[in-house]
Amino acid sequence: MLLKSSCALGALALTLAAPAHAERIELGPRPAYLISQMADGALKDKLASCADMEPQRRDFSIGHRGAAMMFPEHTEQSYRAAGLMGAGIVECDVTFTADKQLVCRHAQNDLHTTTNILATDLAANCTAPFTPARGDVKAGAECRTSDITLAQFKTLNGKMDAANSAAADVAGYMDGTAAWRTDLYATTGTVMTHAESIALFKEMGVKFTPELKSPAVDMPFGGFTQADYAQKMIDEYKAAGVDASQVWAQSFNLDDVLYWIKNEPEFGAQAVYLVELGEGFDEQDKSTWKEDFDALKAMGVNYLAPSMNMLVTDANGTIEASAYAKAAKASGLKLISWTLERSGPLASGGGWYFQTAKDALKSDGDYFTVLDVLAQEVGIEGMFSDWPATVTYYASCMGKGTN
């Protein structure tokens, strides 16, 4: 038996229509599979020894867009799956509609890849209609939440985030899910407003990490300023009676974080400044780093969330904490990282998220190896994952994070 409350993925899917109660955790077979792929050693032995433990909900385990490896991201089904997998915190990426209502989408202009909009009459509203692939020209479209009203948004069905750029028609364009993902659970993807996500997460007994997404439209938008946008997101937590200690508001825009620190200091205390590996970045060379950690602290920033590839490095075939990670931690910043299990099997290098340690990766078991380095050497506060069960297993076994 993997875990006392484990279940097969099919059984997991059957439970998603029912409320996900805070005490209920179902981790399924994936943690055991990953452990079986690990190289022999102390970490594998420790993780294997926890096979019969009672898993615990931990804030260390953060549901990235829900459980987006297999469920359409930012849908009720994806969020409930993350809750069932023991995520202590779940993410709603926040953007807005034509009538300035906040909804959960990874980007304001991703409806053409994350929903069925192109197969509906609302395709006529899109900023750029679908165009088929021809010769060297790829198929494409651009559909924004700001192209439609909230009422229209709510008629859409969420799907796996993917598109086939070689497609000659809409049906082919929408059929682009990666082979290591699945459309098995994509027949229903209930899209959600930000306020609805708050109510759902309260029901599920999980905490909140909304990300204010960069607008695809020029701001102000119909009189809606960036400050209005940042404030509206916080106001929806206040209206729902959510304590600021339960919310980690995120943004890649430092001005948003500083706005919260100044205007909503209780929420600003846990505001998260997101950063990612950019061109010319070397995780071991300080001269290539854009962030001034001491300056961020002086401005009141307490949480920094770099992409994983900024925090780990390959040291002669061994995955270790990077110089960037050590310097950021030494400055007193609390670190969160993203995103485990986002880019598929690791045998081929793990893609963008693992590029600074790719030569040290041997198998999918190294998901746990990297996670352990981030948890023990870097000292992160939490880990985003597209399949939170993996992080929940690790956190429960190692006692990482509060619950």
pLDDT per position as a tens digit, 81-131: 999 999 999 999 999 999 999 999 999 999 999 999 999 999 999 999 999
The model's pLDDT over 220-229, given as tens digits with 9 standing for 90+, comes to: 999 999 999 9
Instruction: Parse the chain into domains and list their residue ranges.
Output: 9-97+191-398, 108-174
Tokens of 71: 């469920």
For the cut 50, the answer to whether the pLDDT of residue 20 exceeds it is: no
Q: Quick one: pLDDT band at residue 7, thresholds 50, 70, 90?
A: very low
The reply to whether CATH 3.20.20.190 applies to domain 9-97+191-398 is yes
Could you report the per-residue pLDDT of 149-207, keeping only the tens digit for each?
A: 999 999 999 999 999 999 999 999 999 999 999 999 999 999 999 999 999 999 999 99
Residue 22's pLDDT is: 54
What is the C-alpha separation between 399 and 393, in angstroms, rounded?
10
Could you tell me if 391 and 57 are in contact, meaning their C-beta atoms sit under 8 angstroms apart? no
Residues contacting 328, CB < 8 A, separation 6+: 291, 293, 304, 306, 335
* Cα-to-chain-centroid distance, residue 68: 8
Please check whether residue 318 is in contact with residue 366, taking contact to mean a CB–CB distance below 8 angstroms.
Answer: no
Rounded distance between C-alpha atoms, residue 246 and residue 109, angstroms = 29
The model's pTM: 0.94
Tokens found for residue 241:
């009676």
pLDDT digits (tens, 9 = 90+) for 135-160: 999 999 999 999 999 999 999 999 99
What per-residue confidence (pLDDT) applies to 19?
A: 47
The pLDDT score that the predictor gives to residue 23 is 72
- Listed as own residue / partner, the contacts of 201-204 with beta carbons closer than 8 Å and 24 or more positions apart are 201/79, 201/83, 201/90, 202/240, 202/242, 203/19, 203/20, 204/19, 204/20, 204/21, 204/22, 204/79, 204/80, 204/83, 204/90
Q: Write down the pLDDT at residue 101.
A: 98
pLDDT tens by residue, 330-349: 999 999 999 999 999 998 88
Residue 11 confidence (pLDDT): 44
Determine the Cα–Cα distance for residues 117 and 113; give it in Å rounded to an integer: 9
Residue 235 has pLDDT above 50, yes or no: yes
